[in-house]
Structure 1
Amino acid sequence: PTKLQLRKQSTPGSFRFFEDTDTEGETPLAAKSPSTKITIVPPQVNNGKDNSSNYSSFRSRGRGSTRRVKRRAVRKSGECNVTQVHISKRRRRYLQDIFTTLVDVKWRWTLLVFALSFTLSWLMFAAIWWLIAYTHGDLDPTNMESEDWSPCVVNINSFSSCFLFSIETQHTIGYGSRSTTEECPEAIFVMCLQSITGVFIQAFMVGIVFAKMARPKQRSQTLMFSKFAVVCMRDGMLCLMFRVGDMRKKSHLISSSVRAQLVRPYTTKEGEVLTPFLHDLKVKADNYESDIFLIWPTTVIHEIDSASPLYDLSAADMINERFEIVVILEGTTESTGQTTQARTSYVAGEILWGHRFTPMVTFNKSKESYSVDFTQFDKTYQVDTPLCSARNLEAFLETADMDM
């Protein structure tokens, strides 16, 4: 039977896993991954320096390796990296949901629609007022000079005056120099119609601007994720860890929760390859699985056990595997009651094997309060960690217990 042995190398403090096939004459034992040399530096005293830059990715350690494009479903900023093509009647469907479309577009387009909606409505009703005045004869110079003539609208003598009257009517300015009379019923009807139209346009545009400014997306800008995820031992188990935090001192997230999903191809029993395929990762924070209270940054943990899709993944597999871990943080803003969501992702090159996060929460005796140093948020330090997969580590530990 194959046995895994943890043997010390010539480099002090570095370890590798080997396979022992019990074959005579094979000494020294062959390395499990002879083509890739991966070592773990022993733990060092943290001096406040960021060590993650020297250990950012196993991908750059292989000789002759080339940089591969990072396939992301979710960018580090949280935006979904998905392009939708060949959608029939796409513009028509977007126009049918015009409110959501205007909320989602950039500010310059929203402000452009805002300005055009008012300007075009002013011009349209100005043209209607001009037609009413023209057909009634109010623009005839003879009638304008006659004191016995009763116009539809007082002091209307050109298109410019019609435009000004349109603005005054729509926004109920009421300067008093122009007003409708009882001479023309159509003028009274248009005045009522424009007043109602102006109320609808103002309510619609104010609603869009308010919804755009109060979007939960803006609240997510103050939620933070660590730049890297790490893999190290905790309580005798290999664990995947990453940090989440909220930089706001007030208006905390309530009922917040964290979800993680592994994006990785999956082959069915029938040989069908499903890509992309989402695997759920069971995560927890500290020693509880309920809602997270983010009064300070929290380390979220995924225990790599037999139920984890990362159970067979070793440090060497990080070099060749293509996968992505999508992290979603959800919660309710305490001040507004709106639900907000922040997202990020980690690809294989952003997972540091054999690292642990630097502590960042201390107690300040002079201020009698806890102090959080956000300069340490992304910093890690190296620790001794087995390079094999969690499955092989579990088998090795069981064999070691039996030998004892």
Structure 2
Amino acid sequence: MARGLRKRIRQKNSENSGFGTNASGRFIKKDGLPNVERKGVNIFNRFSWYHTMLNLSTFQFLSYLVTAYILVNLFFALIYYVIGVEHLTGIDKSDPLNEFIDVFFFSSQTFTTVGYGRIAPVGFMASLVATFEAFLGLLTFAIATGLFYGRFSRPRAYLKFSDIAVIAPFQDVTGLMFRLAPFKNNALTNADVVVSTAIEVSENGETKTNFYTLKTHLSHINTLALNWTVVHKIDENSPFFGFTKDDFYNTPIEIIVHVRAFDEVFSNTVVQRASYVSKEIVYGVKFVPMYYPAKNKEFTLLDLDKINDYMAVDMPNIVEEV
């Protein structure tokens, strides 16, 4: 950032952001999680596997389960095959491929404790492996059941944020705007938003990041049923006061958003985060409406496909007073 531009930032640096001045890169990833990598502990202590599995998308979660199930059964099928198919009754011994297929399905039946009975272990080693596999299967399915329950029962905000933030006219000046909307039929009330910004500045030849709290036009709404356009007025109290279009595009900026609401179904508070960096801020446009009355006038349609739609507007000619 140019020295003259730094002097225009009049707001006091905020110290409660949770990020220090030496942090770098994007602070909040697009999925809302902090962009932080930890070191100094081994990988087993670095990650909470339970949280990781709960935060996966449905497709990723199911893909991991199916892949793990196939790999485990292939592993045990290989063990049975090494022990010898003669220690399993009912095996089709017409060729090696049929033998391995039968051993694989015997493993899957043992792992799930189904046990149809056509194939059974004979001898100590085969019976020992089958016993351990059945025990492991019981534990694995108990864990998988807990993960399924955790994913279904965990309260979530289910908010969709616009991919961009815009700079548009607002109350005779300009405003930084983004919008969000619930995309499921959950009932959210008493929604609050806290917005801050990280601006990279140069002071005494050193580059550091300063954080500023952005005051919003509305920071609380009683019911979050439609979309909510959050607006930060860019006036003399804003850290962006005096910023030009080039300043927004060329200055390393990140807008950090924290939304908290109450879910009436779960009777619990839900939280969701988002962020916007300089390349995701569009200057001189405004969002177009994304909800409208139904044809029969009996309900309102919220079109989530339009959450990123915008149109160009004429920007006010604002000259900063010296």
Q: Same fold, TM exceeding 0.5?
A: yes
Measure, in 1, the Cα distance between the counterparts of 2:53 and 2:295: 51
Residue 200 of structure 1 is aligned with which of 127, 131, 139?
139
Instruction: Give the structure 1 partner of residue 276 of structure 2.
Output: 345
Instruction: Give the structure 2 partner of residue 293 of structure 1.
Output: 223
CA 1:189–1:375 in structure 2 vs 1: closer, same or farther (change >3 Å)? closer
Cα RMSD of the aligned pairs, angstroms, is 4.9
The amino acid that maps onto 2:75 is L
The amino acid that maps onto 2:134 is S
Instruction: Give the structure 1 partner of residue 96 of structure 2.
Output: none
1:207-249 Cα shifts (integer Å, max 9, x gaps): 55676788888945xx131634124232x6653333222344x
The amino acid that maps onto 1:120 is F
Measure, in 1, the Cα distance between the counterparts of 2:297 and 2:90: 71
Instruction: Give the structure 2 partner of residue 143 of structure 1.
Output: none
Measure, in 1, the Cα distance between the counterparts of 2:258 and 2:315: 29
Instruction: Give the structure 1 partner of residue 211 of structure 2.
Output: 278
Instruction: Give the structure 1 partner of residue 181 of structure 2.
Output: 245
Instruction: Give the structure 1 partner of residue 198 of structure 2.
Output: 263
Q: Is the 8 A contact 2:167 2:177 kept in 1?
A: yes
Residue 368 of structure 1 is aligned with which of 298, 302, 306?
298
Determine which structure has the larger strand proportion and give its number.
2
Q: Is the 8 A contact 1:255 1:291 kept in 2?
A: yes
The amino acid that maps onto 2:164 is K
Measure, in 2, the Cα distance between the counterparts of 1:384 and 1:157: 78
Measure, in 1, the Cα distance between the counterparts of 2:104 and 2:230: 62
Give secondary structure in 1 for the equivalent of 2:209.
coil
What displacement does 1:281 show? Answer: 1.4
Q: Does 1:324 align with 2:266?
A: no
The amino acid that maps onto 2:140 is I
Measure, in 2, the Cα distance between the counterparts of 1:233 and 1:163: 66
Q: Normalising by structure 1, what TM-score?
A: 0.51
Q: Is the 8 A contact 2:194 2:259 kept in 1?
A: yes
- What is the aligned-residue identity percentage? 18
Instruction: Give the structure 1 partner of residue 316 of structure 2.
Output: 385
The amino acid that maps onto 1:387 is I
Q: How does 1:102-117 map to 2 (within 5 A)?
A: 106=60, 108=63, 111-117=66-72
Give secondary structure in 2 for the equivalent of 1:245.
strand
What displacement does 1:79 show? Answer: 6.7
CA 1:300–1:324 in structure 2 vs 1: closer, same or farther (change >3 Å)? same
Measure, in 2, the Cα distance between the counterparts of 1:169 and 1:196: 9
Measure, in 2, the Cα distance between the counterparts of 1:89 and 1:366: 61
1:119-163 Cα shifts (integer Å, max 9, x gaps): 324544x379x58x99xxxx6xxxxxxxxxxxxx98799987877
Instruction: Give the structure 1 partner of residue 74 of structure 2.
Output: 119
1:48-106 Cα shifts (integer Å, max 9, x gaps): xxxxxxxxxxxxxxxxxxxxxxx86557x547795859x56665556x74445566675
Give secondary structure in 1 for the equivalent of 2:224.
coil
Give secondary structure in 1 for the equivalent of 2:72.
helix
Larger radius of gyration: 1
Q: How does 1:8-47 map to 2 (within 5 A)?
A: none
- Flag structure 2 segments of 5+ consecutive residues without an equivalent: 1-24, 94-98
Measure, in 1, the Cα distance between the counterparts of 2:76 and 2:43: 24
Measure, in 2, the Cα distance between the counterparts of 1:266 and 1:206: 50
- Flag structure 1 segments of 5+ consecutive residues without an equivalent: 1-70, 140-152, 396-404
Q: Does 1:229 align with 2:184?
A: no
Q: Is the 8 A contact 1:256 1:292 kept in 2?
A: yes
Q: Is the 8 A contact 1:117 1:201 kept in 2?
A: no
Give secondary structure in 1 for the equivalent of 2:223.
coil
What displacement does 1:346 show? Answer: 4.6
What displacement does 1:345 show? Answer: 0.9
Q: Is the 8 A contact 2:196 2:212 kept in 1?
A: yes
Measure, in 1, the Cα distance between the counterparts of 2:250 and 2:198: 15
Q: Does 1:172 align with 2:113?
A: yes
Instruction: Give the structure 1 partner of residue 8 of structure 2.
Output: none
CA 1:283–1:110 in structure 2 vs 1: closer, same or farther (change >3 Å)? farther
Q: Is the 8 A contact 1:255 1:331 kept in 2?
A: yes
What displacement does 1:199 show? Answer: 0.3
The amino acid that maps onto 2:192 is S
CA 1:195–1:338 in structure 2 vs 1: closer, same or farther (change >3 Å)? farther
